[in-house]
Chains A and B, each alone.
Chain A
């Protein structure tokens, strides 16, 4: 691969020239070009930048949580003395602040980091480029979809400055607890807004994939990344309105004193509750009807990204392409009928428990199919260990652990014991960090050259992967043990309990690696920022990949492509006997003397 990179340095100036000579560029002001832009690539970068920023914010909250669990009652180093007395006492985290940190860590990571980067940044960047079109079907809707996110983020973070603090009921914010306090109202409004952003994005992706594919491109010529994003978009469109409805109902309880979630005669003194006749479990049904598919909104796109990265760097077709597509569809469909496994202890009808247990366990089948097909893809490959590939392989290893711990959660009687303990914390982090975030890193490195026109630094990238992989596992794997030991989640001071006192050293161990894990991410930020300016100029197709985004100029301008794109074959013709090279891009005409030359020209041109 390195050799390939080195031979193409001359390319990018030409690409920049393309961008600047393109007609649209002359007509856009700075604001329309960089801030309220309707260009899908600019919007993708905006999602990307805001998600990276919130990754640091959410990560900082996580470190405060870890500090408290390792050293309860000890002042927070450095920043402890700067925080107000409403949050800390003598620099140590107060119980109320702790529950707010737990809530905000999850809210930010889910709604402002992983969903925006997977279903916002990657979807925006990849869909038009990978289907060979100039932009989204609805560019203005797309712009609104982004700008709702920072507004929502400011709304939820404003909670820190209102009376009673920001939302503190956990990211699931079950009423009646969440029916009181201004912080919870702000949270509900923010969730409504990000939900709307998600719906707008989703309908745009569906419309774009169905209507704007390049000439000759059938649905089964789509790369798995696009398939995954398309299926995710369907989940967004069908699932998120239910969250919006749920949030609206809670808003009615909070502001207009209805009692949809509030039963008769509650002994709650705070707030101006009107209690009577409501049903708290209703919130959970509606919430999880969205939030289980939401887990797939966070992981399904990443499964697509990982598939593409594996095929490219194994120089091999995806094993069982159609099986992969059907498995994604099965995961998405099952995602809508399993929400009750989040509610095994909620007090819902036990008959439902049986149903949800069986449907949930069946999800292991399409997940296994995906893992087996990834193994099949690597099998007899010719594997290059680039940074994206390392992250994709890391994804398979850690996602497998997250999948296996999922079987524990699916079995009702076992779930009852380990739910709301550190076992579920370990599980969710193996899926959303070990799974989604490693896949996101793979995607960031893989498309960095196309997104910014520069190569990232491979050495720094590999260090980032190795450090993250080691510290991630040392941080999160022991949490399974805590969970089996019965260690509850969301508790400010576990050592109130005699049976948890022996776990203090393990919590300290976890905290040390959490801090190292947090600081390892600075390598990613440094790589991204440094190489923006000082990185090697990227060639058009640095990975010698087959999919259409690599037919576009190295740093594509508004409108994306500098030639007409016609698709002749599927996306995974690596090492095909039809070609002398070990790849055969989708846009290359079937072999004749002239097309061989054209192939050479495009692949090696900048």
Chain B
């Protein structure tokens, strides 16, 4: 009927970051531990159930249990599970602790809005302009402070984002309306985008290619269509791409400066590459 494998590990999407490799190793350990426990418990259960089934004249053993046995099967799982917890804690710290977020090579802001993802790149000055919730509007999703000169050249994209591989990418994540969740299956990363908070997510990609970005937190009827694409490129390809974007942004700014009054202080989206959620298979 379809390709089916009993090995759950074979279903992972391809692993494309330093973190996803480490995640899959930890998952494999827990997986085989789980398979072991399952086989142990269920084979014992099936054996007992079959072996001690009622037979005419049979009697059962009047026995209330044994404290040494209880103690043993309390202690062993405690050691096993506490060990697993302590072992996996290091990975949790690497991913989540603010002190462990590496020095960013590339830093972007990402916000979720029903039902699309948008990103802000620092522009040609390499600095993200200040932002504040009070400046936020439908034409200024990131709430860029209009008085901060660093914000003027920032680039805002919706739907598809390019990023370099073999670099530490730090994403400052938030939302402008309801909860969303920034889910990159190939990177094994998921983080809720919470309005009113900016949360750091980081990764270091290892393979070039286009990877899907999903929303994993129910955000309304159109939730299923909140799809984005992360395009992981080699450093040189990425630099070419960002230089082209910066050039376009410069032209827009020059044109705005030439006109006496700029109607919109914040950068509008320079591109509206198809986010994919309108196309249906």
Chain A residues engaging chain B, CB cutoff 8 angstroms:
94-96, 98-99, 102, 168-170, 174-177, 263-268, 278-281, 314-321, 323, 345-347, 350-351, 353-354, 357-358, 361-362, 364-365, 368-369, 371-373, 375-376, 378-385, 393, 396-397, 400-401, 404-405, 407-408, 410-414, 416-417, 419-421, 478, 480-482, 484-486, 488, 490-499, 501-502, 505-506, 509, 572-577, 582
Nearest CB of chain B from residue A263's CB, rounded to whole Å: 3
Contact B195–A393 (Cβ < 8 Å): no
Q: Indicate which residue in B58, B73, B181, B197 contacts A368 across the interface (CB closer than 8 Å).
A: B73
Q: Mark B12-39, 1 if CB is under 8 A from A, else 0.
A: 1100000000010011001101100110
Is B264 among interface residues, defined by CB-CB distance under 8 A? no
Contact B89–A314 (Cβ < 8 Å): no
A-B contact pairs, 5 of them (CB 8 A): A280-B179, A318-B64, A393-B45, A410-B85, A412-B96
Contact B34–A408 (Cβ < 8 Å): yes
Chain B positions 172-209 with a Cβ under 8 Å from a chain A Cβ: 176-179, 181, 183, 185-186, 188-192, 194-197, 199
**Which of A278, A486, A573 lies at the interface centre, i.e. has the most chain B CB atoms within 10 A of its CB?**
A486
* Given contact pairs A485-B13, A582-B59, A411 touches B73 in the complex (Cβ within 8 A): no
* Given contact pairs A99-B220, A509-B2, A575-B62, A408 touches B38 in the complex (Cβ within 8 A): no
Contact A357–B85 (Cβ < 8 Å): yes
Is B254 among interface residues, defined by CB-CB distance under 8 A? no
A482 to B85, CA, bound (A): 25
Contact A353–B58 (Cβ < 8 Å): no
Contact B81–A96 (Cβ < 8 Å): no
A368 to B195, CA, bound (A): 40
Is B281 among interface residues, defined by CB-CB distance under 8 A? yes
Other A-B contacts than A177-B218, A490-B218, 10 sampled, CB-CB below 8 A, are A263-B196, A267-B176, A350-B98, A407-B81, A408-B34, A412-B92, A412-B96, A481-B5, A486-B12, A575-B61
Contact A279–B30 (Cβ < 8 Å): no
Contact B26–A496 (Cβ < 8 Å): no
Is B277 among interface residues, defined by CB-CB distance under 8 A? yes
Closest to A389 in B: B49
Contact A416–B188 (Cβ < 8 Å): yes
Contacts of B216 in A (CB 8 A): 345, 419-421, 488
Contact B136–A95 (Cβ < 8 Å): no
Nearest CB of chain B from residue A386's CB, rounded to whole Å: 10
Q: Indicate which residue in B42, B138, B185, B220 contacts A267 across the interface (CB closer than 8 Å).
A: B138
Contacts of B78 in A (CB 8 A): 362, 365
Binds A, one of B149-157, B158-166, B221-229, B238-246: B221-229
Contact B217–A420 (Cβ < 8 Å): yes
A94 to B220, CA, bound (A): 12
A347 to B195, CA, bound (A): 11
Contact B191–A347 (Cβ < 8 Å): yes
Contact B82–A501 (Cβ < 8 Å): no
Contacts of A315 in B (CB 8 A): 59-60
**Which of B74, B179, B185, B189 lies at the interface centre, i.e. has the most chain A CB atoms within 10 A of its CB?**
B179
What 7 A-B pairs come out closest when comparing CB atoms?
A263-B196, A486-B185, A350-B96, A505-B2, A96-B221, A320-B65, A380-B61
Contact A413–B221 (Cβ < 8 Å): no
Contact B41–A382 (Cβ < 8 Å): no
Contact B192–A346 (Cβ < 8 Å): yes
A431 to B183, CA, bound (A): 26
Nearest CB of chain B from residue A352's CB, rounded to whole Å: 10
Contact A176–B177 (Cβ < 8 Å): yes
Is B261 among interface residues, defined by CB-CB distance under 8 A? no
Q: Indicate which residue in A414, A491, A582 contacts B30 across the interface (CB closer than 8 Å).
A: A414
Q: Indicate which residue in B65, B138, B177, B192 contacts A345 across the interface (CB closer than 8 Å).
A: B192
Contact A499–B58 (Cβ < 8 Å): no
Nearest CB of chain A from residue B184's CB, rounded to whole Å: 9
Contacts of A176 in B (CB 8 A): 177-179, 195
Contacts of B64 in A (CB 8 A): 317-321, 572
Contact B224–A382 (Cβ < 8 Å): no
Contact B133–A263 (Cβ < 8 Å): yes
Q: Indicate which residue in B48, B137, B178 contacts A177 across the interface (CB closer than 8 Å).
A: B178
Contacts of A413 in B (CB 8 A): 23, 26, 88, 91-92, 95
Contact B224–A95 (Cβ < 8 Å): yes
Contacts of B33 in A (CB 8 A): 407
Closest to A405 in B: B34
**Secondary structure call for the A interface:** helix
Closest to A169 in B: B218
Contact A485–B11 (Cβ < 8 Å): yes
Is B260 among interface residues, defined by CB-CB distance under 8 A? no
Contact A499–B59 (Cβ < 8 Å): no
Contact B37–A404 (Cβ < 8 Å): yes
A498 to B212, CA, bound (A): 8
* Given contact pairs A267-B137, A314-B60, A492 touches B194 in the complex (Cβ within 8 A): no
A501 to B74, CA, bound (A): 45
A57 to B25, CA, bound (A): 42
Nearest CB of chain B from residue A131's CB, rounded to whole Å: 21
Contacts of A280 in B (CB 8 A): 179, 194-196
Nearest CB of chain B from residue A535's CB, rounded to whole Å: 24
A495 to B212, CA, bound (A): 12
**Which of B31, B70, B78, B91 lies at the interface centre, i.e. has the most chain A CB atoms within 10 A of its CB?**
B70
Nearest CB of chain B from residue A369's CB, rounded to whole Å: 6
Closest to A324 in B: B65
Contact A383–B53 (Cβ < 8 Å): yes
Q: Indicate which residue in A102, A279, A375 contacts B44 across the interface (CB closer than 8 Å).
A: A375
* Given contact pairs A267-B136, A365-B77, A417-B190, A379 touches B48 in the complex (Cβ within 8 A): yes
Closest to A311 in B: B60
Closest to B179 in A: A174
Contacts of B138 in A (CB 8 A): 267
Is B1 among interface residues, defined by CB-CB distance under 8 A? yes
* Given contact pairs A267-B177, A574-B62, A168 touches B221 in the complex (Cβ within 8 A): yes
Closest to B97 in A: A350
A194 to B98, CA, bound (A): 41
* Given contact pairs A364-B81, A491-B223, A266 touches B62 in the complex (Cβ within 8 A): no
Contact A417–B8 (Cβ < 8 Å): no
Contacts of A345 in B (CB 8 A): 181, 190-192, 216
Contacts of B133 in A (CB 8 A): 263-265
Closest to A103 in B: B218
Closest to B176 in A: A267
Contact A354–B92 (Cβ < 8 Å): yes
Contacts of A318 in B (CB 8 A): 64-65
Closest to A363 in B: B81
* Given contact pairs A375-B48, A393-B45, A497 touches B227 in the complex (Cβ within 8 A): yes
* Given contact pairs A177-B218, A575-B60, A378 touches B45 in the complex (Cβ within 8 A): yes
Chain B positions 70-105 with a Cβ under 8 Å from a chain A Cβ: 70, 73-74, 77-78, 81-82, 84-86, 88-89, 91-93, 95-98
* Given contact pairs A94-B221, A267-B138, A323 touches B65 in the complex (Cβ within 8 A): yes
